[in-house]
């Protein structure tokens, strides 16, 4: 199972997809899903050196800049780490469906609570955390 993630410049997870292979078909599926969700094509595509990204970009005729290489996609790779740690604790996922359900919920929670603490003051951080906790309480009370 491979986890495909689209992450913006600030580290927020835009979209994710669990696929059995790392091929052009999987890359196309992620890019189409992302374009449909955002309503427009990305301005820049930063990936590792996997060839299927370029093939999918050519097939979709995206005119955005495609940057690939060593350490250029660290933001996406680092956003994998909490999920990989959780996966190891659970001894892997039983099925691709359970993995997709878990990572979808994990991304929503992470986007709510993940703050770049090193960029903001402590007072602002407290305010953001209070807002996130309020949003979380509202969301869980409805369920």
Q: What is the DSSP letter of 120?
A: S
Number of structural domains, the chain?
1
Note the pTM of the prediction, 2 decimals: 0.65
> Which tokens hold the place of 59?
């097939």
Neighbours of 74 (CB within 10 A): 10
How would DSSP label each residue in 18-73? EES--SHHHHHHHHHHHHHHHSS--SEEEE-S-HHHHHHHHHTT--SEEEESTTTT
- State pLDDT tens for residues 71-104: 777 777 777 677 777 777 767 777 878 878 877 7
Low-confidence ranges of the chain (pLDDT < 50): none
Phi first, then psi, for residue 16 (nearest 5°) are: -150, 160
* Domain housing 135: 2-142
CATH of the domain at 108: 3.30.420
């Amino acid at each position: 199972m491979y986890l495909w993630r689209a992450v913006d410049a600030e580290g927020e997870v835009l979209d994710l997809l669990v696929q059995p292979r790392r091929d052009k078909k999987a890359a196309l599926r992620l890019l189409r899903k992302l374009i449909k969700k955002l309503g427009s094509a990305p301005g820049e595509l930063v990936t590792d050196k996997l060839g299927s990204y370029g093939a999918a970009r050519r097939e979709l005729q995206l005119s955005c800049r495609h940057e690939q290489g060593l350490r250029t996609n660290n933001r996406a790779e680092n956003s994998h780490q909490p999920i990989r740690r959780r996966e190891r604790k659970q001894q892997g996922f039983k099925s691709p469906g359970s993995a997709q359900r878990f990572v979808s919920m994990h991304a929503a929670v992470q986007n709510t609570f993940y703050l770049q603490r090193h960029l903001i003051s402590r007072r602002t951080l407290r305010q953001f955390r209070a807002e996130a906790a309020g949003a979380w309480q509202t969301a869980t009370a409805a369920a």
